[in-house]
Chains A and B, each alone.
Chain A
C-alpha cells in the first residue's frame, strides 16, 4: 500500500484526539484521556515511519497531494496541499516520535491535575501536535502559516496552563505577543511573495526544472532579499533569537513536558524548518544569509553567557535552547542547511531528554526548581541521573554522543566560511559545556541542600516517566551515527545524503565550500579536547557546590545574573512608552476626543430641538403666518429658478 495516500491521517488523528479530550474531558477518566492522547500520536508516528520508509527508497520524487482550493480569487489560487519530501518526512518523525514519548511522560507528570485539567492538558498537547504537523506538511507558505499560528496559540495556552497564577498568564501573553511581532514579518513575506511570483507553493517556486526561483540567477535582488529578511523576522520570533528571545525563558512557566515538547524539541525549530524549506530563496540572498549567521552566532553566545549564572534548572535549559537554536541559525547562515537540520534532530533528542529529566527532578523535589537547593540527587534517582548525564554529554558535544556530530558539522562549515566565526562559535560551545556540567554537578552531586522533608520525599519517578527518558537517552547517545563525518568513514554521512535532494539546487548554486579532511580532523580534535577539559573543570568546580556567602559579585557577573537587563530595557523602551500611549489614548483621545464628539452631537441635537420647540406656540395666527411666508419663499424660488 502506498503510505503517502494515508498522509492526511497524520495530522487528522491528533486533531481527533484533541476534540475527544477537549470536549469529553469531564466524562472520560484520566487513564482513558492519557491513552487516547498518546495513542493518536503513536498511530501518527507509525504512519510517519511508513512514509519515511517510502521516502527513503531509491528514486523517490517529491510528492504533492492536493486536497482542495483553500483560496481561489481570480488568478490567485492557494490550494490546501501537502508536500512530502525528505525534509518533511524527517520532521514528521521527530514531531510524532518525540511527541509520543512526551505524551506518555505527561500521563504520570500531570497525574495530580483535576480530571478536567488533565483532559484540557492533553487536548492542548494534541492540538499542538496537529498544528506542528500542518506546519511541516503544508505544501505552500499559507498552509505553513496556519500551522505557524496554531503552534503559537498552543504555546500560549500551555504556558498559561496553570492560569490561576497571574505570572503564568503574563508569561503566556509575552510569548504570544513576541511571536506575533515575528508573525507580522512572516505574513508580509508571504504577501510579497504572492505579489512578486504569483504563488506561494513550494512546488511552483522551487521545482528544480521549472520552478520560478530556479530561473532567477541574479543574486541579492531587492524582492528576494526583502522576502527572505521578512521570513527571517518570523523565524526570529518563533525560534527565540535576539532580539525576540526573551519570551522563551519565561515560557518555562508552563508544565515541564510542555517545555520539552514545544519550547525545546519542536515548535522553536519551526524557524529552522522554514529557512531550510526556503533554502533556494536564501541561497539567492547572501546578504540575508550573513544576517542569519550573525544573529545566530550572537544569540548562541549571549544566551550561553546568561545560562552560566542561572540557578533555576529550567532557566538554564531554556537559555541553552536559545543558544542551541542560535547554532542552528549559524549553520543555516553559512549555508550548511543539512547540518542545521541534523542539529535540529539531535537537539530534539537531547534537549527533550534534558527537560524531561529536569521534570523528573522537579517532580521528586515537589516543585522545587532552584538548583542551589538540590544536590546529591544522583544517589536516589539513578535512571534520571544517568539519562541526564548522557544528555549533558550529548549537548556539550563530547564524542561520540549525538550532539558532537551535529555541532561539529556546523562548526566545520563555519570554519570554511570564516575562521573568526569559528573561534567565536567554539567559544560558545565551550560555554555550553561549562554551564551544562555545572547544572549536572549542582543537581546530582555533592550534598543535599534542601529541607529534610524534601530529602525524605525524593524518589525515582514511575516507569511511564523513566521509559521515555531511557528511549530518548538511547537516541541522544547513538542518534549522531547517521551523520558520521567523511573524515572517519567514507560515505557514512547518511543524513546529508538523505536530505541532499532538498538542498540540491542550493548546493549547486552556492558551490559549498568545504574544508579539507585534514583540517576537519584537526578542528574536531581541538574542539573535542577543549570541550572535555572545560567539562571536567566545570564538573569538579561544582561537584561540591555550596552557596557562597562571601564576596560581592562584580559588575559583569551581576549583569549576567540579571540577564543583561534585557527584560528591563525592553520594559523601558517598549512597554512603558506603549502604556503611556495607551493611557493617552484612553484618557485624552478617547474620553475627550471621541466621547466629546459623540456627546457633542447628542447635546447639540438636544439644544437645537429645545429651541425649535418654541416655534410650536399654539397660536393659529402665527402658524398661518409661517405658512404664508413659506409659500412666498416657494414663489420666489420659482421665480428665480425659471
Chain B
C-alpha cells in the first residue's frame, strides 16, 4: 500500500481530534480527542518507519528504528499524561459536580 493512504488516514484522525477538542464541552471527550491526535501522529511515525525499512541501507535502518522507539516514548508520555489528566477531571467533578470544560474558567483571576 502506498504511503499516501497512511498520511490521509493520519490527517483525518488528527482533524477529527482537533475539531472534537475545539467543539466538545465534556472534558473526557476533549481528553479522548487529544489522545486521538497523539495516536494519529504515532500512526504516521510508524508508517514512515515502514517506508524507510523497505529501502534498507544502514542510514535509513537507524532512522526507521528510532521512529519506532519514538512512538513508544509518545505512548509512555501519553499514559503519564492520562493519569494526571484523569486525576484532574476527577477533582473537577468533585468540586463542581460536573465535567463541563467551561467550568474551568473559574481558574482565571
Contacts and interface: CB of A to CB of B under 8 A. Distances in A.
Interface of A: 616-621, 624-625, 628
Interface in B1-41: 18, 21-22, 25
B101 interface: yes
Nearest to B34: A624
A626 to B, nearest CB: 10
A410 to B, nearest CB: 91
Name, among A616, A619, A621, A624, the residue most crowded by chain B CB atoms within 10 Å (CB to CB).
A621
B105 A618 contact: yes
Contacts of A617: 105, 108
- Is chain A's binding surface mostly helix, strand, loop or mixed? helix
Contact of B104 (A616, A620, A625): A620
Interface of B: 18, 21-22, 25, 101-102, 104-109
A625 B22 CA distance: 6
A621 B108 contact: no
A624 B105 contact: no
B105 A619 contact: yes
Contacts, number: 24
A618 B101 contact: no
A620 B18 contact: no
21 contacts: A616-B108, A617-B105, A617-B108, A618-B105, A618-B106, A618-B107, A618-B108, A618-B109, A619-B102, A619-B105, A620-B101, A620-B102, A620-B104, A620-B105, A621-B101, A621-B102, A624-B21, A624-B22, A625-B22, A628-B18, A628-B22
Given A618-B104, A621-B102, 5 more contacts: A618-B105, A618-B107, A620-B101, A621-B22, A628-B22
- Nearest 9 pairs of A and B residues by beta carbon: A618-B105, A618-B108, A620-B101, A620-B104, A619-B105, A625-B22, A624-B22, A624-B21, A628-B18
A462 B30 CA distance: 108
Nearest to B102: A619
Contacts of B102: 619-621
Contacts of B101: 620-621
Contacts of B104: 618, 620
A616 B105 CA distance: 10
A618 to B, nearest CB: 3
Contacts of A619: 102, 105
A112 to B, nearest CB: 74
A455 B66 CA distance: 118
B91 to A, nearest CB: 15
B56 to A, nearest CB: 30
A625 B106 CA distance: 19
A618 B104 CA distance: 7
A590 B109 CA distance: 40
Contacts of B21: 624
Contacts of A625: 22
A218 to B, nearest CB: 85
A616 B18 CA distance: 21
Contacts of B109: 618
A534 to B, nearest CB: 97
A622 to B, nearest CB: 9
A230 to B, nearest CB: 70
B81 to A, nearest CB: 16
A516 B36 CA distance: 122
Nearest to B105: A618
Name, among A619, A620, A628, the residue most crowded by chain B CB atoms within 10 Å (CB to CB).
A620
Contacts of A628: 18, 22
Contacts of B106: 618
Contacts of A618: 104-109
B23 to A, nearest CB: 8
B72 to A, nearest CB: 25
A504 B107 CA distance: 96
A621 B22 CA distance: 6
Nearest to B101: A620
A624 B101 CA distance: 12
B109 to A, nearest CB: 8
A617 B104 CA distance: 11
A620 B101 CA distance: 7
A615 to B, nearest CB: 11
B93 to A, nearest CB: 16
Nearest to B18: A628
Nearest to B106: A618
B69 to A, nearest CB: 26
Contacts of B107: 618
A617 B108 CA distance: 7
Nearest to A616: B108
